[in-house]
Amino acid sequence: MKQTSGIDELPGELLMWVLIFSELLVFGAGLLAFMAVRLTDPSGFAEAQSALYRTGAAMNTAVLVTSGFLAAKGLEYRRKDRRVQARLSLVAAAALGCVFLIVKGAEYVGKAAQGISYETHPFFMFYYLLTGFHAAHVVAGVMVLLLVAWRDDTGNIEAGAQFWHMVDLVWVLLFPVVYLLG
């Protein structure tokens, strides 16, 4: 009988897990730095945070969670050899990623119109850094979802869905820390 390790039991490709873990470490370090600097100026951070568009951020949370569900459904459909439904689910997940980017872009435009930049307050430096880095991951994830919808091998879809779920997870962590915690 062959003995297996926990790594052997992970679904998907090991290198995708290495990428996901490294990305989570980078975002985690950014969030820890954000929270540490917040301790030095809690009232300034609270005042800066009050300028954020929380409703849009909450909507974006629902958009990304829904898109993650659609990516998972895409994998499920492909495993059942329902290729058309799989592709439609993946394209819909990517489209919701684009909705996220539109809402985030509108938020950035609104901040710029108010004269708020990364130099306004340390809060906004972290805000733009963390949410901008996440938005770059959303762009990459949208491209990955579209690519795996086109090249719809089960392994490809699984790897694409893994990456997209990491993007979702990061937002689920960013949203409360950046937008809600006072």
Query: Cα(23)–Cα(134) distance, rounded to whole angstroms?
Result: 10
Query: Cα(181)–Cα(166) distance, rounded to whole angstroms?
Result: 22
Does the global pTM surpass 0.85?
A: yes
Q: Under a CB-based contact definition with an 8 Å cutoff, are residues 161 and 74 in contact?
A: yes
**Could you read off the pLDDT tens digit of each residue along the chain, which spans 182 residues?**
666 666 666 677 788 889 999 999 999 999 999 999 999 999 999 999 999 999 999 999 999 999 999 999 999 999 999 999 999 999 999 999 999 999 999 999 999 999 999 999 999 999 999 999 999 999 999 999 999 999 989 999 999 999 999 999 999 999 999 999 87
Looking at 80-174, list the stretches that DSSP marks H as alpha helix, in order from N- to C-terminal side.
83-113, 122-150, 154-174
Domains in the chain, CATH or no CATH each: 41-180 (1.20.120.80)
CA distances from 100 to 17, 48, 54 (A): 24, 22, 14
Instruction: Locate 63 and state its tokens.
Output: 């958009």
